[in-house]
Amino acid sequence: MSEGRSTAERRLVRPGHRVPVSTYRLQLGADLTFADVEARVPYYVALGVTDLYLSPVLTAAPGSTHGYDVVDHDEVSPVLGGIDGLRALSATAHAAGLGVVLDVVPNHMAVPTPVWHNRALWSVLEQGPESAYAAWFDVDWSAGDGAVLMPVLGDRIGAVLARDELRLAEEDVPGVGVRQVLRYHDHVFPVREGTAALPLAELVERQHYRLAYWRVADEELNYRRFFDVGTLVALRVEDPGVFDATHATILRLLREGVVDGLRIDHPDGLADPAGYLARLREATDGAWVVVEKILAGQEELPDDWDTAGTTGYEWLWRVQQTFVDPGGAAALGSVMHRIAGDGSDAFDAMVEQAKREVVDGPLYAEVHRLTTLASGICHDDLRLRDHTWRALHECLVELLVAFDRYRAYVVPGQVPTTDATAAFASAADLATSRLGPGRESTMEVLVDLLQGREAGSAGRTRDPRRDELVVRFQQTCGAVMAKGVEDTAFYRWTHLVALCEVGGEPTHFATTPTDLAAFASSAQSAAPLGMTTLSTHDTKRGEDTRSRIGVLSELPHEWGALVDELHHVSAPYRGSLVDGRTEHVLWQTLVGTWSADGPVGADRLEAYLTKAVREAKARTSWTAPDEAYEDAVLHLARRALGDPRVNALLDGWDVRTREAVRAATLGTKLVQLTLPGVADVYQGTEVTALTLVDPDNRRPVDVDALGERLDRLDAGAGPRGLDDEKLLVTSRALRVRRDLAEAFVGPEAGFVPLPHSSGHTLTYARTAAGQPRVVVVATRLAAAVERLGGWSDHTLALPEGTWHDVLTDRPVPGGVQRVADVLDRSPVALLVHEGV
């Protein structure tokens, strides 16, 4: 389907389809329905966005707060307002000139409670491999005695039976009718035909599913899931029938013009992302489609993926780290070592350890399945038979730990790309160096198998098991990276916690404006219609929280002194159970969420710290919480919030860093909104939003208050604080994008860095047909500018002509200008060529 198209063609949208200029991400739910969004359309229009970007709209599991746990692909969620509500919202949005983008979840569905909410899964549990839906789910029917493992019991099955906690009952199952069911508390399961009259223990054994203790999942689960989440069962959208069935509603909405574009969730989990995207491109007739794809390090989006680009994580860390001072790395490393005991060079070892823990723990079942596949392949080929199960397991573990990205993009039957081959070679070299003697030949065989090369007897490259091994290894790589790095190591590394973000690169402590400009120039030609972002529903901290923490790099010695003071004054109530890493996270979290209005609420802080320490999995975890340890951490947090000495110290820090925070907050936002690509604004971040990890970042947004604030600014009132300033920057940048779209997403849009004499300015032009139309000027590292006594005689070179700064509403002449004159009222400037 995808043959014959160049990479450039794959990144573009076919004529006749809408291309967003900017998007506004909305987290739908019971407290934000289609009707609520429809009522707010005038605000979104006034703000300047061009498209509304909706979280998943299909029916999700009962009580879902995010929508990624879909249970019915044929129904638009009644909780959100149903299909009629979506159509009404779309009509109102389109009438106002706004497009609609939908978030699509192709990788998995929910295993809800009760299961009958997912009719397809209910059918599989009732009828087993004979179900019409058996092809939907990635189940290994050869394992678990041919029964789907359902790890929902609070104790081992024997104990549950002994306590009579399982019972046969008659229930009216929605969509099915009155049926005999097996009930375990709130869980309800179908009863296989012909087994209802059996003794209970025998009945349980005769089902197409196996009820098991929840801890069994990590060791014996026989269906693929989303990472290690047993309540999300993977879909096989590589099967054309499954693709058609699970995408019919979404594609119909596109064909009917109800929606205009799609965001694809977690394509790395799919068996064949390139094939999926090629099929989707044909099914959508080339509509705008972007993918939630994390590109590790300098990795690039695969050439053969039919997508306009990613959702922007590679932009997030680069923009943020352009506003981090590289000079602070060593001093902050000393603070980390003093408080947490970690050396500045310990991150790689920390990642290795975390990945080993998840491979041996929550992802053991996935690795076991890979090993069994590889072992079966070797056993059935005489020339490979001496490569034992244990040797293959050790090699697989080391290879998964060594692999530095989410996927290698190998497709069975296709020759691996040069990049894929290089990724395997690099990982294999590192993995082999960590293995004991005698494993080198097994590693060589394994790497050949994982790349679909000939291994063993002559001519053997493909069969169903070899193909499955190729695919499943890549799917497991993504899970190991996500759970080992993002959800473990990133909660342990405390050098500068703002760098530990989804898709982040904390080893790249800071980047330069030159680095960012080079990346932007490349993106302008490689993926001009991908997204840029600073905050999403998945980010561990909101953009403004990260900006405040990033300022620590500008004042590292002052921060070190403050941490020492905080450590000292909290000593009387800091229990011995509290470790240095968690203490370090606490202080950074407090400065990241501390404003002129004071600290974040205790309930929000405690919820965040509980999640952070459990994700770190060092002293406590979700599956084995240590109540004494968690109580000690939360006690420290509560006492610190109520300690006048701590409050005085952090109030002083807030005052000391206010101008640096202002520059970083406004600078990162303006730059993100004006770089190549489609700029995304996460709900509520048009003003300062000192949010933490979900669900904190999904709290309702008071749009009425925002609308009043925007009206006041539009009426000519000056900004009253940082909230107003950020709203001014966001709205003016979005409006400029909308009004001059040809300079941002048009086929002749360009990005051109502008000359400047100071390393503390970031400046560039957005062009249309080679003509400068918009100029961006931003201050970076304002604390350093302050230490230097201001801008002195530093200059920047504006293109010729007269410019208008839409943030200060004044003319600015072209040519060489003093930075101090351009930025005398604000740390940022957004200049539009007069006469445009």
pLDDT score of 4: 66
Q: How many residues does the chain have?
A: 836
Characterize the bridge pairing of strands 288-291 and 309-310.
parallel
pLDDT score of 722: 98
Cis peptide before 695 (omega within 30 of 0): yes
What is the rounded average pLDDT of the residues 557-562? 98
Alpha carbon distances (Å) from 423 to 393, 418, 478? 20, 9, 14
Alpha carbon distances (Å) from 653 to 106, 604, 627, 650? 46, 21, 33, 5
Residue 1 scores a pLDDT above 50: no
CA-to-CA distance for 296 and 351, rounded, in angstroms?
A: 14
User: 64, 231 in Cβ contact below 8 A?
Assistant: no
Q: What tokens were used for 771?
A: 């003509």
Q: Which residues contact 3 (CB under 8 A, 6 or more apart)?
A: none
CA-to-CA distance for 131 and 681, rounded, in angstroms?
A: 43
Q: What is the dihedral of CA 669, 675, 681, 682, to 10 degrees?
A: -80
5 confidence band (pLDDT: 50, 70, 90): confident
Q: What tokens were used for 817?
A: 């200008």
CA-to-CA distance for 287 and 100, rounded, in angstroms?
A: 12
Question: What are the φ and ψ backbone dihedral angles of 180, each rounded to 5 degrees?
Answer: -75, 130
What is the rounded average pLDDT of the residues 218-241? 91
What is the rounded average pLDDT of the residues 319-335? 98
Residue 446 scores a pLDDT above 70: yes
Q: In this prediction, what percent of the chain has a pLDDT beyond 70? A: 99
- Tracing tokens 């943030």 back to the chain, one arrives at 807
Using one digit for the tens of pLDDT, what is the confidence trace for 496-547? 999 999 999 999 999 999 999 999 999 999 999 999 999 999 999 999 999 9
Characterize the bridge pairing of strands 678-682 and 22-26.
parallel
The amino acid occupying position 403 is F
pLDDT score of 3: 59
CA-to-CA distance for 336 and 332, rounded, in angstroms?
A: 6
Residue 21 scores a pLDDT above 70: yes
What is the rounded average pLDDT of the residues 22-36? 97
The amino acid occupying position 571 is A
**DSSP for 233-251, written as a single string:** EEB-TTSHHHHHHHHHHHH
CA-to-CA distance for 47 and 67, rounded, in angstroms?
A: 26
User: 786, 806 in Cβ contact below 8 A?
Assistant: no
CA-to-CA distance for 54 and 253, rounded, in angstroms?
A: 13
Within 10 Å of residue 255's Cβ, how many Cβ atoms?
A: 13
Q: What tokens were used for 725?
A: 């300033």
Sign (positive or negative) of CA dihedral 699, 705, 711, 714: negative
> In 3-state terms, what secondary structure has residue 609?
helix
Q: Which residues of 705-737 are buried (b: 16+ CB within 10 A; e: fewer)?
A: ebbebbeebeeeeebeebbbbbbbbbbbbbbbb
pLDDT score of 325: 98
Using one digit for the tens of pLDDT, what is the confidence trace for 624-655? 999 999 999 999 999 999 999 999 999 999 99
pLDDT score of 142: 82
Q: Which residues contact 580 (CB under 8 A, 6 or more apart)?
A: 339, 340, 341
The β-bridge partners of 765 are: 752, 775
Q: What is the dihedral of CA 564, 565, 567, 572, to 10 degrees?
A: 150
Residue 198 scores a pLDDT above 60: yes
Q: Which residues contact 409 (CB under 8 A, 6 or more apart)?
A: 273, 274, 302, 416, 417, 419, 420, 474
pLDDT score of 811: 96
Query: Burial, 429: exposed, middle or buried (Cβ in 10 Å; 0-12, 13-18, 19+)?
Result: exposed
**DSSP for 291-323, written as a single string:** E-----TT----TT--SSEE-SHHHHHHHHHHT
Characterize the bridge pairing of strands 108-110 and 229-234.
antiparallel
Q: What tokens were used for 361?
A: 């723990």
Q: What is the CA 813 to chain-centroid distance, rounded?
A: 42
pLDDT score of 143: 77
CA-to-CA distance for 3 and 615, rounded, in angstroms?
A: 43
User: 170-184, 707-721, 757-771: lowest mean pLDDT where?
Assistant: 170-184
Give helix 389-402 / helix 418-433 axis angle, nearest 10°. 110
Residue 210 scores a pLDDT above 80: yes
Query: What secondary structure letter does DSSP report for 369?
Result: H
Residue 749 scores a pLDDT above 70: yes
461 confidence band (pLDDT: 50, 70, 90): confident
Return the closest-CA partner of residue 3 out of 274, 212, 332, 339. 274
Q: Where are the alpha helices (DSSP H) in 572-626?
A: 580-593, 602-616
CA-to-CA distance for 149 and 261, rounded, in angstroms?
A: 37
Using one digit for the tens of pLDDT, what is the confidence trace for 51-92? 999 999 999 999 999 999 999 999 999 999 999 999 999 999
pTM: 0.96
The β-bridge partners of 54 are: 26, 102
- Tracing tokens 């490569």 back to the chain, one arrives at 387
pLDDT score of 763: 98
Q: Which residues contact 763 (CB under 8 A, 6 or more apart)?
A: 753, 754, 756, 775, 776, 777, 778, 796
Which domains, and CATH codes, for the chain?
A: 20-107+237-311 (3.20.20.80), 115-234 (3.30.1590.10), 350-407+414-471 (no CATH)
CA-to-CA distance for 447 and 455, rounded, in angstroms?
A: 9
pLDDT score of 175: 86
Q: Tell me the pLDDT of the chain averaged across its residues.
A: 96
The β-bridge partners of 170 are: 180
**SS percent in the chain: helix, strand, coil, step 5:** 45, 15, 35
The β-bridge partners of 767 are: 750, 772
The β-bridge partners of 541 are: 692
Residue 214 scores a pLDDT above 50: yes
User: 551, 698 in Cβ contact below 8 A?
Assistant: no
Q: What tokens were used for 649?
A: 């110290």
The β-bridge partners of 263 are: 103, 290
User: 685, 535 in Cβ contact below 8 A?
Assistant: yes
The amino acid occupying position 258 is V
CA-to-CA distance for 435 and 430, rounded, in angstroms?
A: 9
User: 13, 19 in Cβ contact below 8 A?
Assistant: yes
The β-bridge partners of 132 are: none
CA-to-CA distance for 184 and 171, rounded, in angstroms?
A: 13
Using one digit for the tens of pLDDT, what is the confidence trace for 376-431? 999 999 999 999 999 999 999 999 999 999 998 999 999 999 999 999 999 999 99
User: 493, 352 in Cβ contact below 8 A?
Assistant: no
Sign (positive or negative) of CA dihedral 358, 360, 362, 368: positive
CA-to-CA distance for 404 and 384, rounded, in angstroms?
A: 28
CA-to-CA distance for 205 and 187, rounded, in angstroms?
A: 17
User: 20, 261 in Cβ contact below 8 A?
Assistant: yes
Return the closest-CA partner of residue 219 out of 396, 366, 330, 64. 366
CA-to-CA distance for 234 and 139, rounded, in angstroms?
A: 9
Query: What secondary structure letter does DSSP report for 692?
Result: B
